[in-house]
Amino acid sequence: MQHKESVKTAQTGEQKRERLHMLDTLRGLMIVGVVLFHFVFDMYRMDSEWAETFINAPIFELIANVGRILFLLLAGICTRFSRNNLKRGLFVAAAAVIISVATAALDFISVGSLGNLFIYFGILHLMAVCMLLYALSDIILSHVKLNPNVNAVLRPCIIALFALAFVITFRLYDGSLGIGGFSKTVNCGLNGTLLGVLLGFHGFLPLSADYFPLMPWAFAFFAGSFLGAYFQEGHVPKFLYKNICPPLTFAGRHTLIIYLAHQPLIYGIAVLVSYIHV
């Protein structure tokens, strides 16, 4: 999951290969956050009092949501630098299937049925669908040539629309559509269906430990993909090219491997910590 960022130099117009290291650094920071979040969640499932206090604190949900938004924005931005988003999407989809099979097996082993360990549409599932949709749209839009002046106006409008759609659908899983006093209870007949759970409606399967429906989270991804055009064109501050923290940058270039490998390791550590404190 490595990406090569390229910008055109103003003097020669030639392609200059220069990596935006800060994108990798930020992704590395996000994946560290994911690892820490899962450790706290595993401790919570093992009835740790400090983990329960932490998870129930309002600030925890705020930090978690900000992290999720930034992670998906970065994933969207990085689609601009992938050589083949279709291939990446299929690869991530295969990893998502492995996660689903492994967590379903774990649930059957531990409780004899599907429970909240089963990840049926987690972050990898979401990213796979988004990458494949982006690859399809990229193929279609490659035949559409827009005037640069039109594109300059259209792009920020599309980003704003995705941001608005994200805010409006953020509480969809709770059955609410809208913002604050302008929210409205939604019942469109999709509750309890497979399509409903993929889109973000409630009731098809038990609440999963890792659930990222298309609404609202796909809107964050696609806002990032349009935002990524500015990065692709080099319209970004120079400090984004600096590698200020090599360990985090390295982690950011290998987020999928870390994501797949960390949960068994973190779960084992949580079990050991829980056993020591019994």
Share of the chain above pLDDT 90, in %: 36
Q: What is the pLDDT of residue 14?
A: 40
Distance CA 64, CA 167 (A): 16
> What's the pTM value of the predicted model, to 2 decimals?
0.84
Within 10 Å of residue 153's Cβ, how many Cβ atoms?
Answer: 9
Q: What is the pLDDT of residue 161?
A: 95
Within 10 Å of residue 240's Cβ, how many Cβ atoms?
Answer: 16
Q: What is the pLDDT of residue 10?
A: 38
Q: Where are the domains of the chain?
A: 6-276
Average pLDDT, the chain: 83
Q: E-assigned strands of the chain?
A: 6-8, 15-17, 176-177, 184-185
Please check whether residue 188 is in contact with residue 175, taking contact to mean a CB–CB distance below 8 angstroms.
no
Please check whether residue 218 is in contact with residue 68, taking contact to mean a CB–CB distance below 8 angstroms.
no
User: For 206-243, what is each residue's pLDDT tens digit?
Assistant: 567 788 999 999 999 999 999 998 898 888 888 889 99
Q: What is the pLDDT of residue 183?
A: 76
Q: What is the pLDDT of residue 12?
A: 38
Q: What is the pLDDT of residue 187?
A: 73
| Residue 6, phi then psi, degrees to nearest 5 | -135, 140
User: For 15-56, what is each residue's pLDDT tens digit?
Assistant: 455 788 999 999 999 999 989 888 888 888 787 888 888 888
Q: Token pair for residue 58?
A: 């309002």
Three-class DSSP category at 184 = strand
What is the mean pLDDT, run by run of 10 residues, along the chain of 278 residues?
44 56 93 89 82 86 90 93 92 93 82 75 94 88 63 87 94 79 75 81 68 93 93 87 92 90 81 69
